[in-house]
Structure formats: structure tokens, C-alpha cells
Structure 1
């Protein structure tokens, strides 16, 4: 049986992977430029970038646009916990940008409002140290928008304290590849799968009070959902 030789991109990726694992390139260190690496391995720039994309997909290398490729530091894993109230994951530094807009595209159906209804978008990017951890777009009706820019956990607590109270939180989880915008914001490869969560909170009067679109890189995040059962009945309860 003839043994198939590895492709150039796989051979380059394996060599760089070995240099990273043996400490030749250390965590946080910038790799030689793509032009330098292409010359070193005697390949075209597209072939070299394809090799780096393999390492980016494995979480070994991260590409910072305008700066270069770096050996990624070991990542802490986090668990997204559904339901009401603050998430028990360790505190993360968050940046937030608030924008007033009108409901268009998928938003009218998501929030059950007429098209062009006034909404407020809160765009959160959380960081674990310097590494981006998650991206979330939270949409709320304009009359329910917070006057300040609360942290993500504070936002969840405020939703839990609303009157009328929350009656239902529906969370849908899927996996897909990131968009270019998400890839840039989270500093991940476009070939690295993400967890994509859609969270819709409805109050006791039947009004949708929050819709969130949450992106979590698949190399550092899990999602946990717990069902509580009534004693001796075996039926779900909140």
C-alpha cells in the first residue's frame, strides 16, 4: 500500500506545531511574518496562510489584524449557564456600546414588534485578560432600555427584577462558522466553529423584553442547561 505524503500546508503546520510544543515559539510570542515564513518553507503566501489557518483552527495560533500571527496563550474554558439571574462564570472585563435603532430584518419577528419599532442595541464584548471571550448583541424595546451601560451580569439581574416579572426564557443553541465581523472581534479563525445562542425573554404580560444574540468561540466555551424536577412527580418545574 502506497503511503500518501502530507500536503505542503499540513507539513508546514506540523513543523510549526512541533516548534510551539517544544517551546521554540513561546506563548504570546509573535511568529515571523507571513512573507518570512513563506520564504523559509519555499511556498506561496496562500499556501503558508492555509497552513496557519490549520493552527488557528486548533487554537494554537491567533491572527491579530495589522499586527501578525501569535502563539496563543492557554485558554480558560467557560460555561454559559442559561436561565434567569447572574451567570456563575468568573467575572470578565466587558466593553459595551449602546445604539438606538429601528426594528428591521429579523428583529421584528424576534421581539414580536412591528417593523421600525424603536429599539436599543447593547453590544457587549467580554475579555478574559487580553483575549476576547464572547460577543453579544442584546436588543430591548426603547422604553425598557437602561439609562446606563450595565455589565452583562447586571443586565441579567435587571431582567429578572422586571415588573411584570419574566414568565419565559427561550434559548436556542446552534453551531456554525463565524462571520468575518465575528472573527475579527473575537480574534479567531473563520474556520473555528462557534456556539451561537439566541435568547428571548418574555414577561408575564406576553411582551418580549429582551432578545440576545450571543457568540461563543468553540475552543473555550460550553453551554449548560439544567432542568429541575418536582419531587416524586418527575415533571419539570422552574
Structure 2
């Protein structure tokens, strides 16, 4: 069985990508008008527009309202350092990370209480499958651009009937798990992070502004209190083409 024929916009996008990679239009250059390119490729304006939108999503082109389409500057891959010190700053770790890079950190969050814990989450939290948790989905942005996603789970046996039940509401909204738990007498002393390579799902790609199947870094993080009890776990998704993750830790002598 042969390969399915590509859609016309995919054919145009592939050739434009080839020309961009060959340096026909350097970074920052304005492309010929859509009408001109449509005539060159003998396609309709809608096909050309869809091809350019594909390349914009890939970060190769950028559209400027009222001006046209330009060759994008190469995306800078920044380093995000994860260390024990990021939890000691009296603020959200993400806000502290972005502050170190000179970027403004914001996020959107949606919490749902009494969400039954799936089997895998229950195992990580040391609770029974189906036990009530607060699930919070986060979209983190740096200077208004999508940076990472996170889905957090907290057992309601820990936070029910406290002011911190919902992470982004109450007196410590936005302060991070360590500060919030400390306020109710729970002292987090350890975090375990397990990084794995992955590919962006369609939903993740839409939120992060990448393509479905692009490489991402998946981090499974769990916080433990001073008794060794898991008190929160999260799945973090970071686009690999924009960020590299570095782990920093202190070296102690006996």
C-alpha cells in the first residue's frame, strides 16, 4: 500500500520549509505577499495561508498584524535550573525561576475538589484508588508565552477544612506547595523528580504552541513531609526545543 498523498498545504509548507532552511530568506526578512506566493505555487490563497500557519506554529515564521509574514528569529533554548534552593524563596518556584531569567511569570489554574485519584496517582500518594483529591491543572507563562504545563494532585485527607484546600485561592494563593503546607503545620523536607522524554499530545501541543508529537520533557514530581508521607504529586510538561533542565545540588562532606 502506497503512502497517502499529502494535502496541498502540506506540500507548500514543505517547500517553504526547504527554502527557509536553505537560507533563501534570512531571519527577520519579510516574505513575499501571500498573493505572490500563491501565484508562484499555483494554489489558492487559503492553501498558502494554511501552509504559512503551519510554519508559524513550528516557530519558523511569525505573522505581524498589518505588516505581513516574517522569518522568525531562531528560538533561544534557555536553561531552567531545578535545585533545593528554589523552594526556599518564600514564593512560587516557577516565579523564582523566571525571575532569575529576567522574565515575568504568570499562570492560569483550574482546580477541582473531590476528584477520585486514578490508580497511578494513588500509588504515588500512598492512598487508595478513588480517594478524594484536589486536582489542579496549570498553564505557566513567561512574558505571556506558554512555558510549561502541570497537573497537581493533593489528597483531601490533608487539606480538607483548611484555608489552603484550593491552591490558587485563600491567603496563600500562588505561594507554592511548600509554603502552603507549612501554613497548616506540614513541613515538606524532600522532593523526588523523575524526568522522562516524551511527545506532545494534541492537547499539550495546543496549550504550549508546539506541534503534536514534538519532543517534551515529562517530570513526575512528588513532595514528601518530614515523616516521609507524600503530600502532593504533579506531572509537569516542558517543551524540549525551548528549555533544557539542569539539576543543581549541594555537595556535603562528612
For structure 2, which runs of at least 5 residues remain unmatched after alignment? 1-10, 64-68
2:132 and 2:70 map into 1 onto residues whose CA distance is: 42
Normalising to structure 2: TM-score of the pair?
A: 0.67
1:158 aligns with 2:179: yes
For structure 1, which runs of at least 5 residues remain unmatched after alignment? 1-6, 64-68, 234-238
Deviations 1:169-203 (A, max 9, x none): 11011121101110111121114211111101111
Residues 156 and 164 of structure 1: CA distance in aligned 2, closer, same or farther (over 3 Å): closer
1:47-196 matches, within 5 Å, as 56-57=57-58, 59-61=59-61, 77=78, 79-83=80-84, 84-85=87-88, 86=93, 87-90=96-99, 91-100=104-113, 101-142=115-156, 143-144=158-159, 145-147=164-166, 149=168, 154-158=175-179, 161=182, 163-196=185-218
1:51 and 1:43 map into 2 onto residues whose CA distance is: 13
Would the aligned equivalents of 2:27 and 2:73 in 1 still touch at CA under 8 Å?
no
2:71 and 2:152 map into 1 onto residues whose CA distance is: 32
2:30 maps to which residue? 24
Residues 80 and 178 of structure 1: CA distance in aligned 2, closer, same or farther (over 3 Å): farther
Deviations 1:40-72 (A, max 9, x none): 524799999789757744x32479xxxxx9966
Shift of 1:211: 0.3
| Larger RCO of the pair (alpha carbons < 8 Å, separation 6+) | 1
Residues 20 and 128 of structure 1: CA distance in aligned 2, closer, same or farther (over 3 Å): farther
1:152 and 1:212 map into 2 onto residues whose CA distance is: 17
Aligned length: 214
1:10 and 1:88 map into 2 onto residues whose CA distance is: 37
Which stretch has the larger CA shift, 48-57 or 94-103?
A: 48-57
Would the aligned equivalents of 1:140 and 1:211 in 2 still touch at CA under 8 Å?
yes
Shift of 1:109: 1.2
Normalising to structure 1: TM-score of the pair?
A: 0.71
1:132 and 1:13 map into 2 onto residues whose CA distance is: 24
Q: State the superposition RMSD in angstroms.
A: 3.8
Which stretch has the larger CA shift, 137-146 or 151-160?
A: 151-160
1:39 and 1:108 map into 2 onto residues whose CA distance is: 58
Would the aligned equivalents of 1:62 and 1:187 in 2 still touch at CA under 8 Å?
no
Residues 16 and 119 of structure 1: CA distance in aligned 2, closer, same or farther (over 3 Å): same
